[in-house]
Chains A and B, each alone.
Chain A
Amino acid sequence: MSDKKKILIVDDEPDVVEWLTVFFEENGYQTIGAYDGKEGFEKAQEQKPDLISLDISMEGESGVKMYKRLLESDDLKDIPVILVTGATPQLQNFFERLKDLKSPEGFFEKPVDKDELLKKVQELIP
């Protein structure tokens, strides 16, 4: 049980969290769900996941802010992050605001191609 890699899924759409939870667990991962950036960061600190799937535009604290806080934290800055987001303009905005910082390891536009997503996850945390 404990040798399973842990994925933190952060999205304000409960259906997205539920689906990705089932999907990742089915493929041999452990999951944690969070519904905004604040909760996401807290759970990351608490449970030290191996990978984070992060939405950008969320009610409450956004994905941009959470990503920044992750990079500022010595404990968490090396956790790979995959963006899973709905809007392309927000994605551009995300990169503009973080242009001096490390880019996330991957990004997927909703609706995601689940096989591609899994491939990326397996690549990052085999």
Chain B
Amino acid sequence: MPDKKIKNRSKIKEKVSAELFEQVPYNVAVIDRDFNIVEANDNFAHNFGDWVGEKCYKVYKRRKEPCYECPSAKTFEDGMSRVTDAIGIDKLGRRIHYIGHSIPVRENGKKGEIQYVMELTRAVTETAQYQQEYQILFDRVPCFITVIDQDYRIIRANEAFRERFGQVIGQFCYEVYKRRKSRCPNCPAAKTFKDWKIHRSHQEGIGKRGQEIQYVVSTSPLRRHGSQVDHVIEICTDVTKLKNLEKKIIDAERLAAVGQTVAGLAHSIKNILMGLEGGKYMISLGLQKENTDLVRRGQDMLERNFDKTTTLVKDFLSFSKGRLPKLQMTNPNKLAMEIVDLYKDIAAKSGITLRAETAKNIKKVPLDPDAIHTCLTNLVSNAIDACQMGEQKGSEVVIKTSDEKGVLSIEVSDNGAGMDYEIKKKIFTTFFTTKGGEGTGLGLLTTRKLVQEHGGKIFVETEKGKGSCFRMEFPKNRLQAIYKEEKKNGE
């Protein structure tokens, strides 16, 4: 090979070295064995300030003596290059985190004695801060975070997760979350591995002490090499407390329904007692005056109120029967159709059309079919009565089902008599009836109770002379919660 070229190379190298010394994106300082800085580049001066005649430890860290475990001192000793990280103070007094390289500089090429050590430093303060922030975030965020590989093994888990589920690295996620032997059906992570998208779902897990944990999980893809999803990050929010609260609310609503019922019952009994008292008084007055008409009226009054008692007790027993609904997967549309079949002939006799408008998107939900059947029977027979009381021609009663925003609703509407404010106010509050001796006023109370036992609510919209609409709304997550609870209690 031509010498000329080699000569050129060393010349080039020399030139480049000088250039490099200034342009390299590092702070460069050269120190001797006594830690004196003998040369430094502009970057160094820019970051650490004036260095001429100073010791390196003073400039880097404002110390009065050499640093403990000084890497450059070791390089002087053994001739090895070193990389360390350290914390220093810049010329403005700010704390900086930097990575430092200590490189030996020998007197005569590779074999000579080490004359200097070149220190290359670069600030990584921001990166270090980010890393620290990230670590804190990862561990302390009030969520469980795990990273799983394609075999569904957990390769990382944050502190919150470890606290709740124990030491889990290397175990299968389904084993840890749910103590299963195989992957869960509807696994959101599997979907993410497949379509690279974020998925969310509500799950139930088992903690390290065997406690039930309800959580909402979101799975995000982590691609390290571009062509496929290598890992999935599972971030879970613990909603156990929330779910427990929700359950308590359902229970409280159920209790409230019982309270209202008892208050209504007391009112009803007081009226009956009044009737009995009256009958007794009239009989005794009639006997005293030998007035048979008065005795007969008293007798009738007693009989009427005994009958009322019997009906009330019977209704009340059926009302109090079965404290929890017996939920089973039920198609609400089918229930609606059943009611239409049962009542359309009766309705037709009074010139009323009874029909169902069922939404197509409705799937089976956990409901107590007998209870909903009772509710619909009550509402439909009220609606038919309302149509008979109303004066419109072409009366109709419509049962409508819908499933929107997680709420199943079943409504019964009519274009009958409607109610004014005074009546609307009372329909759910007492044993109220507009049907004279025919009703006990328990129909709507029973309906409301049954709906509330399903975690639902009943609403009424009405206008005097125009008609009424009773709508039962069932949040489906509540139905599921009651269903699960019942299944658990049943086992």
Contacts and interface: CB of A to CB of B under 8 A. Distances in A.
A114 B263 contact: no
Given A13-B271, A16-B271, A60-B422, A114 B282 contact: no
A14 to B, nearest CB: 9
Nearest to A26: B285
A22 B282 CA distance: 7
Contacts of B266: 86-87
B416 interface: no
Given A18-B301, A87-B266, A87-B267, A13 B294 contact: no
A69 to B, nearest CB: 14
Contacts of B282: 19, 22
A114 B280 CA distance: 12
Interface in A15-59: 15-16, 18-20, 22-23, 26, 57, 59
B270 A57 contact: no
A22 B294 CA distance: 9
A19 B263 contact: no
B304 A15 contact: yes
Interface in B266-308: 266-267, 270-271, 273-279, 281-282, 285, 294, 297, 301, 304-305
Given A59-B432, A60-B422, A86-B267, A110 B274 contact: yes
B385 to A, nearest CB: 14
Contact of A87 (B301, B430, B433): B430
Given A62-B422, A89-B263, A19 B277 contact: yes
Contacts of B422: 60-62, 65
B434 interface: yes
B270 A114 contact: no
B128 interface: no
B430 A114 contact: no
Interface in A55-88: 57, 59-62, 65, 86-87
Contact of B274 (A57, A62, A65, A111): A111
A105 interface: no
Contacts of B304: 15
Contacts of A61: 422
Interface string B421-439: 0110010001011100000
B422 to A, nearest CB: 6
A113 to B, nearest CB: 9
Interface residues of B, number: 27
A125 interface: no
A112 interface: yes
A3 to B, nearest CB: 23
Contact of B301 (A19, A26, A109): A19
A43 B310 CA distance: 35
Given A86-B270, A87-B266, A18 B278 contact: yes
Contact of A59 (B270, B271, B434): B434
Contacts of B423: 59-60
A35 to B, nearest CB: 11
Given A57-B267, A61-B422, A87-B430, A19 B273 contact: no
Interface string B56-81: 00000000000000000000000000
B457 to A, nearest CB: 22
Contact of A15 (B263, B274, B285, B426): B274
Given A86-B266, A114-B281, 10 more contacts: A15-B279, A15-B305, A19-B281, A19-B282, A57-B430, A59-B426, A59-B432, A60-B423, A87-B270, A112-B277
Interface of B: 263, 266-267, 270-271, 273-279, 281-282, 285, 294, 297, 301, 304-305, 422-423, 426, 430, 432-434
Interface of A: 13, 15-16, 18-20, 22-23, 26, 57, 59-62, 65, 86-87, 89, 109-112, 114
26 contacts: A13-B274, A15-B274, A15-B279, A15-B304, A16-B274, A18-B297, A19-B279, A22-B281, A22-B285, A22-B294, A22-B297, A23-B281, A57-B426, A59-B426, A62-B422, A86-B270, A86-B274, A87-B266, A87-B267, A87-B430, A109-B270, A110-B271, A110-B274, A111-B270, A111-B274, A112-B274
The 8 A-B residue pairs with the shortest CB-CB distance in the complex, in nearest-first order: A19-B278, A111-B273, A15-B275, A86-B270, A110-B270, A86-B267, A87-B267, A111-B274
